Amino acid sequence: MDPLSRRRVLGVVAAAAASGCAGTGARETASPSPTVAASEDAAEESYTSCLPDPTTARATHPAGDPVVRSSALTPAWDWTAVEWVVASSSDRDALTYAPAATNVDALRAFVDGTDLSARSLLVLQHRYDACLALRVERVKWRGSARSSGGRFDFGVQFADGEASVDCEGRGDHTITTAVRVPAEVEAVGEVTSATFPIGRDDC
């Protein structure tokens, strides 16, 4: 990815953080903590666990609308700038999907086919430049400093890549990714995203 593209990625996350964008557990009604823009210092962060090639499903909305919503929570900012965890059948039943989204049927099948007694689902949903593909390459996590129990902070590394579209006049699209994570994850604390490695101990 060229430097301009990478700045676009981090700039979108930074704008969301400044506006109050936040992650939340799906059992809550407000988002307690922000998504943060990754600086080069993110490479020095310390995480306790890592998935080098996480099992994911991904859908996009070409109009920039949300791919998925949950009636179990209210995002602090917007449905196109949010992360949350699906950890139970009731969490999953609360989801609704946008029929106009690309690959939404595969995303729904992935969510429905996940054994929530063995895995939770981390849902990442943000609006980005339509030229960006942003596929999740690595996920790292640690117990959140904001609270105890099942809340975790995440570092998400995106693979470099451009979407196969003409950038001119395309605007933004929404990228929604569901990631299978350990069942101990019940809620999201802080999420740091970047297109470069996050955390000292790489996978």
Percent of the chain with pLDDT over 70: 68
End-to-end CA distance of the chain: 21
What is the predicted pLDDT for the residue at 10? 41
Residue 141, token pair as written in the block: 């996590």
Going by the DSSP 8-state scheme, the letter that residue 130 receives in this structure is T
- Determine, yes or no, domain membership for 45: no
- Backbone φ, ψ for residue 167 (5° rounding): -70, -30
- Determine, yes or no, domain membership for 102: yes
Q: How far apart are CA 86 and CA 76, in angstroms?
A: 17
- Determine, yes or no, domain membership for 113: yes
- Determine, yes or no, domain membership for 7: yes
> How much is the mean pLDDT over the chain?
77
What is the predicted pLDDT for the residue at 55? 97
- Determine, yes or no, domain membership for 43: no
- Determine, yes or no, domain membership for 31: yes
What is the predicted pLDDT for the residue at 159? 85
Q: How many domains does the chain fold into?
A: 1
Structural domain range at position 19: 3-37+52-194
* pLDDT surpasses 70 at 148: no
Around Cβ 41, how many Cβ atoms within 10 Å? Answer: 8
What is the predicted pLDDT for the residue at 196? 81
Tell me, what amino acid is at 137?
E
Instruction: Look at residues 32, 135, 47 and name the one whose alpha carbon lies nearest to residue 84.
Output: 32
Report residue 203's pLDDT band, with 50, 70 and 90 as the boundaries. Answer: low
Residue with tokens 């929530």: 116
- Determine, yes or no, domain membership for 150: yes
Q: Which residues pair with 139 in a beta bridge?
A: 51, 156
- Determine, yes or no, domain membership for 75: yes
Mean local confidence (pLDDT), 79-91: 95
